Amino acid sequence: MSTRARKKTYRQLGTILLVLFMTTLLAVAMLFVYIFFQFKNTADSMQDPKYSRTSSAMRPTDLNLNTGQPVSMVLFGLDSDEGRAMRQEGRRSDTIILATLNPQNQKMTLLSVPRDTQAEIVGHGTTEKINHAYAYGGPKMAIDTLEKYFNMPIDYYASVDMDDFVFIIDNIGGINVVSPHTFTYDKYHYAAGETYRMNGKEALAFARSRKETGAMGDEGRQVRQQVILNAITKKLLSIESVPYFNEVLKTISHSVTTNVAFQDVNKFRKYYAPALGSIEKLSLNGTNEIGDDGLWYFIPSDEAKDDIETRMKNNLGISS
């Protein structure tokens, strides 16, 4: 082949490679644009128009997420009760998980607040089970109640329909869970330390059971709920979840409400990932007692409550 012919061939090959590169680049760009708008649409649909504050009133100044300032967040897992729905009563938060994130110390604290904890319901003028606050006044009353109870600011919240966890888990092809307890619920049997592949229905039963022998009551349920949440998070962050991307976002958009704005999502990703380096799981110790109204309540000891409050506030960089 002559020199001129070789140069022509190289030019043609170079043109083909350039076109291929540009086509690939365009396809990747379109994919990112698609993902961006899918995330934005999902985030917008999750936004709570009735409760849009971005930092607690207990803070002297507004939060600055761009500096990685320590923040707090609460997750409410909402139940579905046909009786209360027919009476047009609010939904109770049967799961309450309070978290503090400090990227500077590379630490996160997690506390499952027992739903039967006796507390003053701020704005309602009663003292009763803490999970009633959400039913009476939604996330605002629930957050106000938690802030007063633990004497600390709560900046963000997310409310999740627990029944929709069934669809989320099914959409991502199930999850692998190591059972921390040995118990039997309905047709399911679990042994401590064993790994189980669960679909959504089984995971919800696993997370909710509490009265069965070995299920360890509310405390055991809180532990298993954290196990389920960790398994879902791990699966969502894995490459395995990519094929289920659209369905997962669709389900999340219908089952989650939050005051985290779309523009802040990337700030959390960018500045708060180090907080996941060390996760401290806290436990509120106390006793179960019958109140004056004849109902069972969880009453934490003063020492345990003070210790939890100190640990969380320390991770927020707030003095007790």
- Where helices occur in the chain by DSSP H, the ranges are 3-46, 82-86, 132-150, 165-171, 200-208, 217-236, 245-255, 262-271, 302-315
- Can you give the pLDDT of all 320 residues of the chain as single tens digits? 555 554 444 445 444 444 444 444 444 444 444 444 454 555 555 556 566 565 678 888 888 889 999 999 998 888 755 544 444 456 778 889 899 999 999 999 989 899 899 999 999 999 999 999 999 999 999 999 999 999 999 998 888 887 777 888 888 888 999 999 999 888 888 999 999 999 988 888 888 787 788 888 777 887 887 788 778 877 776 666 666 666 666 666 667 788 887 778 778 878 888 887 888 888 889 998 998 889 989 999 999 999 999 999 999 998 76
Give the integer Cα–Cα distance in Å for 113 and 200.
24
Q: How far apart are the first and last CA of the chain?
A: 83
Give the integer Cα–Cα distance in Å for 283 and 97.
11
User: What pLDDT is attached to residue 86?
Assistant: 44
Give the integer Cα–Cα distance in Å for 287 and 269.
39
The half-sphere exposure of 158 on its side-chain side, counting CA atoms within 13 A, is: 19
Which residue do the tokens 């110390």 mark? 105
C-alpha distances in Å from residue 304, one per residue of 12, 31, 101, 150, 281: 75, 50, 21, 11, 14
What residue type is assigned to position 160 of the chain? V
| Contact (Cβ atoms closer than 8 angstroms) between residue 124 and residue 137 | yes
What residue type is assigned to position 318 of the chain? I
Give the integer Cα–Cα distance in Å for 72 and 260.
12
Reduce the DSSP state of residue 27 to 3 states and report it. Answer: helix
Give the integer Cα–Cα distance in Å for 192 and 180.
5
Q: Which of 133, 99, 134, 138 is nearest to 119 (CA)?
A: 133
